[in-house]
Structure 1
Amino acid sequence: MKHQFIEALANHSLDALRRIPKSDLHNHAGRGGNIKYIGDWVNTTILPPSSKFGSLGEMQQWFVSHVKSLCPGIQGYLKRVEASFVQATDDGIERLALSYGIDEIDALGGMEAFIHTMDGFSHQYAPQTQFLPELAFDSRSNVDEALDRLDEILSYHWFKSVDICGPELAQPIRNFRPLYRRAKTAGLVLRAHSGEFGTADDVMEAVEELELHEVHHGIAAAHSLQVMNWLAGHRITLHVCPTSNVMLGRTEDYSTHPIRALYDAGIPVTLNTDDLLIFNQSVSEEYLNLYSSGLMSANELNDIRETGLRK
């Protein structure tokens, strides 16, 4: 498969890239589909963002006005999640981690109904994809309230990993330690958003405080050789989302993306979509973006692809 992947990159062939197994391990479920798929459903053309966002708030406003408003309510939410599974099949995603919040579970009537619905989507639209559901806590959430719910949620043994998403540093990362202790006891992969907007020290603190196995984003670590060496030594995987980083102004463009420094430091990295309904770049396109910019070689990108398939 390595030869086919390298040849597809060399030929700039998206069609060929889509047929090659890949992973998407950083994907927010209600935002993980293709805007054309949603546009076809609502019988309109949804144009992707025309410029970079100034903040997460501005990104959210764009999503609400350009996508969510066209497919509101539970029906709209389910169609957007459906689109995430359809996209996985269309783009050759062999391992798919979709994250969900507790509010999404409640919106569908609790864990049994929620699991039935999501597993149904998985079997219907992405039967060849390994579905790895992730439980995501909002960084602004009341930890005690979330803790009260956690035992019941984990008793179903359905979620495979845990995450914290939302504005970084909304509260001290150590506040989440009780949640992560429970998740660790339950055998979940421990992840959290860190180093997207924070510092290299924030990434190291998050890993140490929560005993993380993996970090969503983590690109700020590139500003510290000490932190990069520490992450590499502890084999902490960073799930990187290049277009998200460019569109949110965390890096100027693909050719200057910090994944170069992170990879060179020996840190395991993967390529992912983050919010495909907003950023409009599939995993295959992310590989091609980094290759076309000259940032990384085809061999290096294949190494990253294989890392995602092993995680």
Structure 2
Amino acid sequence: MKNQFIDALENHSLDELRRIPKSDLHNHAGRGGNIKYIGDWANTPILPPSSKFGSLGEMQEWFVSNVKSLCPGIQGYLKRIEASFVQAADDGIERLALSYGIDEIDALGGMESFIHTMDGLSHHYAPHTQFLPELAFDSRDNVDEALDRLDEILSYHWFKSVDICGLELAQPIGNFRSLYRRAKEAGLILKAHSGEFGTADDVMEAVEELELQEIHHGIAAAQSPQVMNWLAGHNITLNVCPTSNVMLGRTDNYSTHPVRALYDAGVPVTINSDDMLIFNQSVSEEYLNLYSSGLMSANELNDIYP
């Protein structure tokens, strides 16, 4: 399979890449589907963003206006979740980590109904994909209120990992220690968004405060050889999303993406889609983007895959 992966890149064959099993470990549920899939369902063509976003807020405004407005209510939400599983199956994703917030659990009537619905969609639309649900806290959440809900949520032993997403540094990362201590006791993989907009020191602080095993984005670590060496030495994985970083102005283009420096420093990295309903790039396309730009060779990407 490895040789097939290298051949597919060298042949610039997206069809071949899609047939090769891969992972997507940084994917926000409800935003992980194909734009065309949702546009066809809504009978309204959706054009992808024509320029970079100036901020996360601007990105969210685009998503609400161009996608979410076409998918109102619970039916629309479930169609977007469906699209995420369909996309995973179409792109050869064998391991899919979809993240969900507590508000999404509540919108479907609680954990039992939520699990039944999500597992049903997973089995129907992506039966050959290992579904790895992730519980995501918002960086602005009231930690005490979230902690009050956590034991009941974790009692179902359904979520496989935990994350913090949203505006980085909205509050001190240490405020989430109690949540992460409980998640660790429950055996969840500890992840958090960090170093997308912050600094290398912020990445280090997040890892140390919350005992993280993985970081979503983390590309700011490339600013510091010392931090990269520390991450490499402690085997901390960075789940990188190249097009997301380009479209949000965190790097100018694929050929200058920090994943080059991270890889060279020995930091474990994965390649992921983030929000495909916004950025319109599958995992297969992300690998091809990095190869076609000249940033990384097929053999180097083969080291990262899957």
Category of TM-score, reference length = shorter chain: over 0.9
AA partner of residue 138 (structure 1): D
Distance 1:247 1:178 in 2: 34
Q: 1:203: how far off?
A: 0.2
Instruction: Find the residue that maps to 1:30 and give its secondary structure.
Output: coil
Residues 29-64 of structure 1, C-alpha deviations (whole Å, 9 max, x = no match)? 110000000001001110000000000000000000
Aligned-pair RMSD on alpha carbons? 0.4
Deviation at 1:274, TM superposition (A): 0.4
Find the counterpart in structure 1 of residue 230 from structure 2. 230
Q: Secondary structure at the match of 2:27?
A: strand
State yes or no: 1:151 paired with 2:186: no
Partner in structure 1 of residue 296 of structure 2: 296
2:8 is the counterpart of 1:14: no
2:250 matched residue in structure 1 = 250
**Shift of residue 303, structure 1, vs aligned partner:** 1.3
Task: Identify the residue that residue 137 of structure 1 maps to in structure 2.
Answer: 137
User: Displacement of 1:292 after TM fit?
Assistant: 0.1
Say whether residues 1:196 and 2:196 are aligned partners: yes
> Could you tell me how far apart the structure 2 residues matched to 1:305 and 1:148 are?
39
Aligned runs of 1:101-250 on 2, under 5 Å? 101-250=101-250
Letter of the 2:285 counterpart: E
1:266-305 to structure 2, matched below 5 A, reads: 266-305=266-305
What is the distance in 1 between the residues matched to 2:155 and 2:13?
44
Q: Map 1:24-35 to 2 at 5 A.
A: 24-35=24-35
Output aligned runs, 1:52-91, within 5 Å: 52-91=52-91
Counterpart secondary structure, 1:162: strand
TM-score in terms of structure 2 length? 1.00
Q: Give the corresponding residue for 1:309.
A: none
Q: Which amino acid counterpart does residue 24 of structure 1 have in structure 2?
A: D
TM-score (norm 1): 0.98
Q: Offset of 1:305 from its aligned partner?
A: 1.0
SS at match of 1:147: helix
Instruction: State the SS of the aligned residue for 1:296.
Output: coil
2-structure distance, mates of 1:197, 1:258: 13
- How far did residue 72 of structure 1 move? 1.0
For residue 296 of structure 1, report the CA deviation from its aligned partner: 0.4
Aligned to 2:38: 38
SS in 2 for 1:31: coil
Shift of 1:302: 1.3
**Partner deviation per Cα, 1:250-283 (whole Å, 9 max, x = no partner):** 0000000000000010010000000000000000
Which amino acid is 1:90 matched to? Answer: D
C-alpha separation in 2, matches of 1:222 and 1:54: 22
AA of the residue aligned to 1:262: L
Deviations along 1:115-167, one digit per CA (max 9) or x if unpaired, are: 00000011000000000000000000000000000000000000000000000
Where 1:197 maps in the other structure, the secondary structure is: coil
- Per the alignment, in what secondary structure is the counterpart of residue 198 of structure 1? coil
Rounded to whole Å, the distance in 2 between the matches of 1:51 and 1:72 is: 26
**Could you tell me how far apart the structure 1 residues matched to 2:230 and 2:39 are?**
44
What per-residue deviation string (whole Å, max 9, x for no partner) do you get for residues 207-242 of structure 1? 000000000000000000000000000000000000
Identity percentage of aligned residues = 88
SS for the counterpart of 2:284 is helix
What is the CA–CA distance in structure 2 between the aligned matches of 1:299 and 1:178, rounded to whole Å? 42
Separation in structure 2 between the aligned mates of residue 127 and residue 63 of structure 1, nearest angstrom: 28
Q: Which amino acid aligns with 2:76?
A: G
User: What corresponds to 2:96 in structure 1?
Assistant: 96
Distance (whole Å) between structure 2 residues aligned to residue 302 and residue 32 of structure 1: 24
Cα distance in structure 2, aligned partners of 1:268 and 1:157: 27
Amino acid at match of 2:293: S
Q: For structure 2, list consecutive stretches of 5 or more residues without a partner in the other structure.
A: none
Query: Which sections of structure 1, spanning at least 5 residues, go unmatched?
Result: 307-311
Runs of 4+ in 1 over 4 A off after TM superposition: none
CA distance in structure 2 between the aligned counterparts of 1:29 and 1:299, rounded to whole angstroms: 31
